A and B are shown apart, each in its own frame.
Chain A
């Protein structure tokens, strides 16, 4: 079945460091891929998405590229800020389905 695997957290970085959060997936078809973010005390928000291979999603300085050959959708940011501290979820959705399949989430802690 479909699944999403994320790197375990927490990930702790200093401000202005480079961020990578790994995400790999298994799917039977050609899913859309998503990164959601959950800031403390808030609901899940869509951060970025990509709907086909080689697409790059980007938002708020974050980027992720849909890599079909490695079944990956790693999240990157060149210079993180304290305000980026949150839990990040990778998710997929098959074309023929409406369910989002989620990774376990990665907690990111940015220290000043």
Chain B
């Protein structure tokens, strides 16, 4: 069946280190969105990627969509304690249903 794996499940980093989470699909995706959920909070929309090979930046965050539109990554440069939370990719398979990946929980130690 159609599956999307998000890796790693957990990541602990020292403040200042970089962090990357990956979303990998066995099937071509229509588009991909990324959300951040702080502990005890709700998902907050970060960005949407639509085009094959697309790269977008938001300050220290870099988002990529693979050439085959089957994978995506979120990279954070020089993490800060405010980056703590769970990062979800969210996607659809040519439907109106937005499905969330399993998430990567990021912990940043000062």
> Are A and B bound to each other?
no
Q: Which residues of B approach A to under 8 Å, CB–CB?
A: none
